Amino acid sequence: MFSKESLDNLILSKRTVLCVGLDTDPAKIPAHITGTTKQKVMEFNTSIIKATHKYCVAYKINVAFYEALGMEGWQILFHTAEYIKSHYPQHFLIADAKRGDIGNTAERYAKAFYDEMPFDAITLSPYMGIDTVAPFIRRGKFAIVLALTSNTGASDFQLQPMDDGKPLYQKVIEKFSEKFGRDEIMFVTGATHSPMLKSVRSLVPDYYLLIPGVGAQGADYLTTLSNALNASGAGVLINSSREILYASSNDDFEEAAAAAASKYEF
Amino acid sequence: MFSKESLDNLILSKRTVLCVGLDTDPAKIPAHITGTTKQKVMEFNTSIIKATHKYCVAYKINVAFYEALGMEGWQILFHTAEYIKSHYPQHFLIADAKRGDIGNTAERYAKAFYDEMPFDAITLSPYMGIDTVAPFIRRGKFAIVLALTSNTGASDFQLQPMDDGKPLYQKVIEKFSEKFGRDEIMFVTGATHSPMLKSVRSLVPDYYLLIPGVGAQGADYLTTLSNALNASGAGVLINSSREILYASSNDDFEEAAAAAASKYEF
């Protein structure tokens, strides 16, 4: 059960906004970890989680990396989510799934990620509208709506002006924040759009922002942080994946991951 | 391996544009089918496929309904896709997954649905832009981009005017059809927007349209068909799910499903 306030407290007590992204690629797992794909990914994930949990407040599991592992990928996803929630229940657990579908289908996705698996939040695409996000609103959980993403394709639609001159992503933030509260939704805003982060923060001063794009995607951490923090000095989750997971490809990967994660302390 | 032309030929020879949607809900499976959830869903799906394959050109598997079944849901999804491709390889097989993510993640989803599973096409959200769809472009496969969906939330963003007065969905169709060819992408256009179907067809006369919203969602089949057919008398896949799957809840469900599917012949 999380709320805007409990997340703020967690961040202020741990002195970090870091969310570690578990985009685990079997081809990048250090060579000394052996076994089946399932064994290797589980050993790598649990090692990374043990090494980094002190230095982060959240984990984000990129579902695509597990679906790509075939039939057993979904099992590895389940076991990873369960491992985090049973060992580190204070950590906020995000399914980065970017789902979005009509009501009766959205309810199935909510069942999959909230009931079958113990996720606290899920990322969602806003394209199909408010009614497709509503089934993911539950007490203590967060629907995390894509607003301005970190890829170049963001300029194709998200940054295009609507008839009132405002870009589409701003319309998305306005409509969703009008409908849902700060304990119900968050917004994804890419760190690569540094100048726009400040304007997003002023649009929704009380809402959490999930920020990818720091690290491997190029944005600077401190600039991002200063643009995005809320009045309490929290309100942000900054995701880093590759930079932490693959900080070393040798048998010191746990220490290297911990060192990379600890740099996010403020 | 499918192309716009091979799909046209398939439709013209079978005299139907029907795509049967396998949104299988274990709670709605006829009571005489017993066993574990996995056994029941597989028996129901294979029975529906056997009963309807003569009367349709495509199957669309709604991934959410399988993810909601927990860890074994992904296995049932795999087995259903494999059953269709091994028994009825001429049928066009769509993953209704509505994915959409940055390049390195999109590649994983493409691997999951095209390599690990034998899907011919996948539905995608356009919100994150052209570069998020590019990894799904492969010879003989189709990326099916959401344009105008059948739910009421379509009015939140898709129908909103951009600065040139055109609605967002039209911008989506224009940008994607500029970039990708008629053998690479299709567009989802809900049948519930009957007046707009004609204008979509005139925007992209050569592209396939995947049309949900006929049947349980309320739109009329013949009107939809007359608005959407291309110059060859094809170019459309009309999806029907609940109306066929649950045509009867008794032990005549196969005959009832076949009868419901055969109504789509033209």
- Burial class from Cβ neighbours inside 10 Å (0-12, 13-18, 19+) for residue B242 reads middle
Q: Which residue of A has its CA nearest to B23?
A: A105
Provide ipTM, 2 decimals.
0.96
pLDDT tens digits, residue range A222-253?
Answer: 888 888 999 999 999 999 999 999 999 999 99
Residue B209 has φ and ψ, to the nearest 5°, of -115, 130
Establish if A216 touches chain B: CB-CB under 8 angstroms: no
What would the mean pLDDT of B260-264 be, rounded to a whole number? 94
The whole-angstrom distance between B217's CA and the closest CA on chain A is 11
Residue of B98, B94, B101 whose CA lies nearest to B80: B94
CB-based contact A158 B100, cutoff 8 Å? no
End-to-end CA distance of chain A: 25
Q: Which residues sit opposite B155 in a β-bridge? A: none
What would the mean pLDDT of B171-194 be, rounded to a whole number? 94
pLDDT tens digits, residue range B72-124?
Answer: 999 999 999 999 999 999 999 999 999 999 999 999 999 999 999 999 999 99
Q: Which residue of B has its CA nearest to A217?
A: B102
Nearest CB to B132: which of A102, A103, A151? A151
What would the mean pLDDT of B191-218 be, rounded to a whole number? 85
Establish if B195 touches chain A: CB-CB under 8 angstroms: no
Which domains does chain A show, CATH number per domain? 4-262 (3.20.20.70)
Which pLDDT value is given to residue A216? 58
Establish if A232 touches chain B: CB-CB under 8 angstroms: no
Q: Which residues sit opposite B255 in a β-bridge? A: none
Establish if A261 touches chain B: CB-CB under 8 angstroms: no
Q: Which residue of B has its CA nearest to A156?
A: B129
The whole-angstrom distance between A120's CA and the closest CA on chain B is 16
Residues in B touching A112 (Cβ below 8 Å): 64, 67-68, 70, 73
The whole-angstrom distance between B244's CA and the closest CA on chain A is 17
**Backbone dihedral region for residue B91 (phi beyond 0: left; psi -120 to 50: alpha; all else: beta):** beta
